[in-house]
Amino acid sequence: MAKGGPYAGGGRPWRRTGPGHGGRVAPAAGLGAAAGAGARYFKKSHCHLLRDGQPMSRYRFIEAQRAHYSVRLLCHVLGVPASGYYAWQQATKQVDSSESPAWEEALVKVFGRHQRRYGTRRLQVALRRKGYRVGRQRLRAAMRRRGLHALQPKAFTPRTTDSTHGLRCAPNRLLDQPKPTQANRVWVSDITYLPLANGEWAYLCAYQDMASKQVVGWQVGASMPEKLITSALQRAFWSQPPTPDLIVHSDRGGQYCGNAYRQLLRDHEALRSQSRRGDCYDNAQAESLWSRLKTEVLELRERPVFADLADAQHSVADYFDYYNHERLHSSIDYQTPYHTHQQLLQLNALKCPA
């Protein structure tokens, strides 16, 4: 929507002084003669609108006075482009049309259901699947009008990786490899801190399928020993029987170099893979998951912390259930991770008949 033209906001000199006006504002040519006494009202309203300085209020004034004066004349005197007025008029008509309330009502419901976690891209897809084809510009305008503001992912601290432990790390088996297109071929893992209200930390380890984005296993604990990652990995194996030569990729943290972790991988014929030293991008998918979780859970709270360990466990469980089954993911064609995971498993079964 246009917000005024080159004269909006005071760019055009409003005083036309000269002989016969004594430095006072001269009426627009023909306006006083056409309106008679009404011109005095117009001049006062005009000055009021100039103090207001908002093109929207000028457009409303033009709409109210267009029966008495031409739109072109009103726009000229008020210093707004006629094209801006007509764009505002068209947008107003669209809001008042019979279609708009239906899709806007659907917009509010979808936005509320996902608790500010959807921006215009996901909202557009969700509305299209409900039968409403709405452009992102119209979505932005409707959201702005209704005061709907989506969450924005933020960087998080602190980092958990300590690669100075002296333990033997595995090579990065994902280098120069194409992205997996089958489920349960590559899992990525990481550990992150969860802030608690008492100033302490809880620790979360999760495993995520690289192709489908589904979180296949996770564990929250009060500390981060090796058992934290082996418990999460065991849960992943229970929920998703691994394929032979499954690659489990992580950073270079000492927990991922322990004997129990390596033995658990061997028991399931899985291969260990770890990031290169000093390269945070090697495990970018896991880092992205933490960013989403902390924004979409903690930013909705009055204080961005969990009440205690139990609250952290329940909140993470609820979020991962939502993330897997409801949240549309842009990198998998705006499907849910669970839906994509099941599709990939079915395709793999068709390719490999018993």
Q: pLDDT tens, 299-320?
A: 999 899 999 999 999 999 999 9
Distances (CA, A) of 195 to 227, 267, 305, 311: 20, 34, 5, 11
Q: Is residue 2 part of a domain?
A: no
Q: How many C-beta atoms lie closer than 10 Å to residue 178's C-beta?
A: 6
Amino acid at the residue 102: A
Q: Is residue 243 part of a domain?
A: yes
Q: Output the CA angle 346-347-348, nearest 5 degrees.
A: 90
Same domain, 345 and 294: yes
Cis peptide before 158 (omega within 30 of 0): yes
Secondary element (H or E) of residue 171: none
pLDDT tens series, the chain, 354 aa = 444 443 344 444 344 444 444 443 444 444 444 444 444 444 444 444 444 456 667 888 888 888 888 889 988 888 888 888 888 888 776 655 544 569 999 999 999 999 999 999 999 999 999 999 999 999 999 999 989 999 987 654 445 455 555 577 888 998 878 889 999 999 999 999 999 999 999 999 999 999 999 999 999 999 988 999 999 999 999 999 888 889 999 988 888 999 999 999 999 999 999 987 655 555 678 888 998 999 999 999 989 999 999 999 999 999 999 999 999 999 999 999 999 999 999 988 777 665
pLDDT of amino acid 272: 94
Q: Output the CA angle 311-314-320, nearest 5 degrees.
A: 130
pLDDT of amino acid 278: 52
pLDDT of amino acid 159: 53
Same domain, 126 and 111: yes
pLDDT of amino acid 165: 52
pLDDT of amino acid 344: 95
Same domain, 69 and 119: no
Same domain, 133 and 201: no
Same domain, 117 and 215: no
pLDDT of amino acid 83: 86
pLDDT of amino acid 166: 58
pLDDT of amino acid 242: 82
pLDDT of amino acid 19: 44
List pLDDT tens digits, range 76-128. 888 888 888 888 888 776 655 544 569 999 999 999 999 999 999 999 999 99
Comparing C-alpha atoms, which of 303, 287, 225, 305 is closest to residue 251? Answer: 287
Q: Return d(Cα 123, Cα 146) in angstroms, integer.
A: 15
Answer for the pair 251, 190: CB distance below 8 angstroms, yes or no.
Answer: yes
Same domain, 40 and 126: no
Amino acid at the residue 98: S
Tokens coding 134: 């709405």
Q: Is residue 21 part of a domain?
A: no
Q: Return d(Cα 112, Cα 125) in angstroms, integer.
A: 16
Q: Return d(Cα 279, Cα 133) in angstroms, integer.
A: 42
pLDDT of amino acid 160: 47
pLDDT of amino acid 331: 92
Domain count, the chain: 3
- State pTM to two decimals: 0.69
Q: Return d(Cα 58, Cα 64) in angstroms, integer.
A: 10
Q: Is residue 315 part of a domain?
A: yes
Range of the domain at 89: 8-16+27-93
Same domain, 196 and 341: yes
